[in-house]
Structure formats: structure tokens, C-alpha cells
Structure 1
Amino acid sequence: MAHIPDGVLSVPVLAGGFVVAGGLVAVSLRRLDERTIPRAAILSAAFFVTSLVAVPVGPSSVHLLLSGLMGLMIGRLAAPAVLVGLLLQAVLFGFGGLTTLGVNTANIALPGILFGALFAPAVLRAEAGRAGLLAGICAALSVAGTGLLVALALALSSSDYVPSARILLVTYLPLMAGEALITGFAVSFLKRVKPDALAGVAP
């Protein structure tokens, strides 16, 4: 459950989410230009589509985030890419919520941006196989980061959510594996056929 719905979080947590997400988007948009717009748009569309497909896991459900891949390919532009995807999902399908838009954007985009910045230099230097392995680790850590932020948002909103937050973290384990495989394969493939797709993604 990376998409926290309306009516769950406390007002201070919602406000903090909008502040963090707003700051990320404002800083990120400075890098938006004719070269980066198509790449950001494609990844935003991919995020929009894949995150609509939720797989039940225990008492919750999970879906692909692609945050690690976005962090590696578009860096800070992952923030507006995620924001657009979440906004369209909330408006068109009622998926997630409008009041939680800031929290959900920060929870998904921030780990991808941070771990993408950490792993991008090594991924750019590595050959295809090793780049795929590093990208997979980046994706798994990004998902873990999102899980921790979701749990934190719930726990800060109410102590009643703490047991649920702990269970929620467990549901992210299979998602970490799935994201690692998909992102690792994608990056390894790109390194072989179009290495410039990963060039210039420093934070």
C-alpha cells in the first residue's frame, strides 16, 4: 500500500508531505528541458500504468513502483514524474487520494532519487551485467525506503496504526525482489543497446 488513501493520515503528516513533495518538485523542475521531458514523460506513464495493477499480499497489496529505475534514469525528475502519475490515478480512478498526494509523492519518489543518486555513478561505469546487478540493488533499497516512509507516516498519524505498519513492511519484501529483477534487467538491456539512456543522470 504505497498509495495511502484519504482520511487515514493526520493533518500535520499531510502538511509535512506537501512541504517535502513541493520542495522536491520545485528543485527538480530546474532540470526539465527539451532533452529530459520525453524521458520523464515515458517513465511517468510507465509508473502510472504499472502501479494500477495491485497484487494482494497478505492483508495488503503491492504494485510496481519503478522508483529505483526512475532515480537512475531521470534523477530528481522522478519527483514530478511520480506526482503526475499519482494525480492522474487519483482523479481518473480514485486510486490513492488528493489530500495524501504530497505524502505519497514523497514516499515513492524520495527513496528512488536518493538511491538513484548513490548508485548512478557506479551503474554508468559498469558493464551491462554488473550495472544490472547494481540497479537491482538500487531498486530493492528504493522499495524498502518507500515501505519505511509509509510505515512512518502511519505511525506518526496514530499509534493505533503501528501494528498495521509493521505488517505492511513485510508485504514489501516480495516487491523488493520483483523490482530488483525488473529494474536490473531493464538497466542491463539499456547498457547493451542504448547506453546513452543512462548517461547524465547525476542527481
Structure 2
Amino acid sequence: MAHIPDGVLSGPVLVAGGLLAAAGVARGLKELEPVRVPKVAMLSAVMFVASLIHLPAGPASVHLLLNGMAGIVLGWAAFPALLAALLLQAVLFGFGGLLVLGVNTVNMAVPAVLTGLAFRRLAKEAPPRRAALAAAVCSGSAVLLTGLMVAGSLAASGREFEAAARLVMLSHLPVMGIEAVFASAAIGLLARVKPEALA
């Protein structure tokens, strides 16, 4: 449900999403050092695969986002990583669409970047256990913020989408818990065995 399909959003929302996505991707590429490209590619591939795992959530179906973990590990580079994953999902499987690619990228990448910034404040020079707890809080928050942004994108496109916006928020609640546990385990392990990956 994090992927908004083509033909739903209004023109101004599409234009704003496209411009913000272009700015975010440009910033991410500017800060992306060549040595970090394999890490970005790997996380982009992981997010692409995770989107194929659908979870029932009442009348809707949701999937793992992993944008919180991407923000923690990649920072601003989460923008190009998410753009690549979303583009492949749209082209290969029809999830989302090409016209809404900018909006979908912004809805997932802005929470990712904010999550990364929050994690660095909460877990700076922290022991692995505290880093794992911070990752859980930040990852769950990224899913919540993504749900809010998707709901806001729908609501901004017309009153007829208000019910769908509420459904989006409710359907993302179970994903918050799952991703918090997953991120806690993954980031806690990284903090113990390879803390430089989180620098």
C-alpha cells in the first residue's frame, strides 16, 4: 500500500513529488562516495525483494518497506537506492507506476533520511544494545511517517481518497512492529560486528 498507482494523484501532487525526488536524488548522489556504491546497490536490492513479501492487513495488503534501515545505513544515499528499487518494482511487477515514481520515492525516502539523522543522534557512540533499541524506534517511526505521507498524498488529491488515506494508516501499523524488530536485530548485529558500517 506504500505504492500509489498511476492515475490516482492530482497533477500538483505529482509535480511536487517529482521535484522533491529529483532534489533528494541529486543530494544523495552528490554525497555518495564510490566506495559506498556496493552498499547502496545491496540495500536497494534487499528493499526490492522485501517489497515482494506481502502481508495481509485487513482489507488491504502491505509489504515490508525497510526504508528506516536504509536511512540508518545510507543516509541521503537512501534517495537513489529507493528510486532504483521503486523503478524496478514499477517496470517488472507493476507496483506503483512511472508517473507517481517521484511521489512514491519521496514518501519512502524522506522518512528514511529523517530516520538516519535521528539514529545518529540517539545512538552516537552508544553500546550495541542501545543502538539496537534506537534502530527499532527509528525504523518503526519511518514506517509511520511513510504511512502519513502516503495518506497525505492521497488526501491532497481529493476528498474521495480520504477513506483510502485512513486505510493506509491502519494497514501500516502491523508493519511498524515487524520492521522495528527486524531493524533492531540487524542494526544491533552491525553495531557489534561492524560498527563502521553505521558511521
Q: TM-score, normalised by structure 2?
A: 0.97
Alpha-carbon distance, 1:73 to partner:
0.6
Alpha-carbon distance, 1:25 to partner:
0.4
Q: How does 1:107-126 map to 2 (within 5 A)?
A: 107-126=107-126
Q: How does 1:25-36 map to 2 (within 5 A)?
A: 25-36=25-36
Q: How does 1:32-111 map to 2 (within 5 A)?
A: 32-111=32-111
Moved over 3 A (4+): none
For 2:10 and 2:124, how far apart are their aligned partners in 1?
Answer: 41
Partner of 2:148: 148
Query: Secondary structure in 2 aligned to 1:27?
Result: helix
Alpha-carbon distance, 1:46 to partner:
0.4
8 Å contact 1:124–1:198 — kept in the other structure? no
Alpha-carbon distance, 1:196 to partner:
1.1
Corresponding letter in the other structure for 1:162: E
For 1:36 and 1:86, how far apart are their aligned partners in 2?
Answer: 20
Cα root mean square deviation, aligned: 1.0
Give percent identity, aligned residues only. Answer: 50
Alpha-carbon distance, 1:123 to partner:
2.0
For 1:194 and 1:124, how far apart are their aligned partners in 2?
Answer: 15
For 1:133 and 1:62, how far apart are their aligned partners in 2?
Answer: 24
For 1:41 and 1:135, how far apart are their aligned partners in 2?
Answer: 21
Corresponding letter in the other structure for 2:21: A
Corresponding letter in the other structure for 1:76: W
Q: Deviations over 1:1-23 (max 9, x none)?
A: 00111111111111111011111
Larger deviation: 77-86 or 188-197? Answer: 188-197
Larger deviation: 158-167 or 135-144? Answer: 158-167
Partner of 1:128: 128
Q: How does 1:162-177 map to 2 (within 5 A)?
A: 162-177=162-177
Unaligned runs of 5+ in 1: none
Alpha-carbon distance, 1:40 to partner:
0.7
Partner of 1:184: 184
Larger deviation: 173-182 or 117-126? Answer: 117-126
Corresponding letter in the other structure for 2:178: G
Query: Secondary structure in 2 aligned to 1:8?
Result: coil
Partner of 1:137: 137
Corresponding letter in the other structure for 1:106: V
Q: TM-score, normalised by structure 1?
A: 0.95
Alpha-carbon distance, 1:121 to partner:
3.4
